Amino acid sequence: MPYENGKWRAPTPEEASKDMNAYKQLYGNLSGQGWMTSKDKVNYDVKQAEQAAAETAAKQQAEYAKQQAAYAQQQAAQRAAQQAAYERQAQLLQQQYERQKAAEETARKKQEAAALAGRDALVGAAQENYDASIAARQESYDKNVGAVNSDTERAMQQAYINNQLQKRNLGQQLAALGRSGGAAESTLLGLANEYGGQRGTLDEQRNDQLGELALNLSQGKAEDLQRLNDLKAQYESDYQNRMQDLAAASLERLLNYDNSYTSAMASLEQARAQQLAEIASAATGYSSGIDTTAQDYLTNLQKVYSGEMTKQDVINNKSAIVRSYGQELYNDLLEDAAIIQRLT
């Protein structure tokens, strides 16, 4: 910046060619005067910095508002997409869970039907064996009864034949001996009694044999029936145990499906919450992109104006000031600090 007799003067058009806006502002403020005081120069620099900071802030705020609106729209689209994805995944999990339950129900019904068919097959086989055993016993009984009756009839027939032969032979013998009358009748009566006793004995033997056969048949049938009932009871017990095992296994699988579904939904909810939090966090930190360089420079210039920042402070922080604001603004800040230092 040019000085004359210790006072800062307005730059010439050539000197102000780097910043025509600054030259026009200076020219208008001085109303054609060719100079201004050092204090005026510092005031001018402060006003210029304030204006630059305000313009920069306004531009950045407008741009930020525009970007915020666009980002809000983007966020809404992200949330909508996230919600749609969540609903699709939740629906898939629900459908998978329902398919698992339906498949389990179908499999359980098939297993129960197979268990029932197995029981019925065993009971049917046991019943067939029972029926066959009863039929065989009855057939054997009938055959033995027939044999006993036949043997008894043959024995009675033989006893009758023997009795008739004895009677005939006895008549011949008595005639040969010349016996008749009471002796003959007594002898014939003895033969008749003997024959009757033989028949009674044969009948008694037959009845004993038939009774034994009937008893054996009854006992055999009772044993077969007991065996059949025992088998039915065992098959029913096995069937009920099988049904309980199937129910317990099915319930365990259903509980596993429930736990898996609940866990998957919890993980999905957690992922959804995390994604929404990330979207919200990105929106919260978005304002950090605003450039505060102009406002920071104005703050430093105000510190110089108030004497809070000295010329030596500016020199000591040269590297940081040049890095942040550039060499030209550093020179202005150093020059203004020197002016304030001379005036105080």
Mean pLDDT over residues 299-303, rounded? 81
Residue 139 has pLDDT above 70, yes or no: yes
Q: Are 152 and 198 in contact (CB under 8 A)?
A: no
Phi, psi dihedral angles at 8 (to 5 degrees): -80, 130
Q: Are 56 and 294 in contact (CB under 8 A)?
A: yes
Q: Are 28 and 56 in contact (CB under 8 A)?
A: no
Cα–Cα distance measured from residue 250 to residue 101, given in angstroms and rounded to the nearest whole number: 10
Residue 288 has pLDDT above 90, yes or no: no
Residue 293 has pLDDT above 50, yes or no: yes
Domain ranges of the chain: 1-36, 78-286, 292-344
pTM (2 d.p.): 0.56
Task: Quick: pLDDT tens for 239-264.
Answer: 999 999 999 999 999 999 999 999 99
For 78-286, give the CATH class: mainly alpha
Mean pLDDT over residues 298-313, rounded? 83
To the nearest whole number, what is the mean pLDDT of the chain? 81
Task: Quick: pLDDT tens for 80-90.
Answer: 888 999 999 99
Q: How confident is the model at residue 193 (pLDDT cuts 50, 70, 90)?
A: confident
User: CA 117 → CA 16, 96, 112, 120, 242, distances in Å?
Assistant: 108, 31, 9, 5, 12
Cα–Cα distance measured from residue 56 to residue 189, given in angstroms and rounded to the nearest whole number: 162
Mean pLDDT over residues 192-220, rounded? 93
Q: Looking at residue 12, what is its pLDDT?
A: 43
Q: Looking at residue 17, what is its pLDDT?
A: 41
What count of residues does the chain have? 344
Picking from 90-94, 147-151, 204-208, 329-333, which range would have the lowest pLDDT averaged per residue? Answer: 329-333
Cα–Cα distance measured from residue 341 to residue 339, given in angstroms and rounded to the nearest whole number: 5
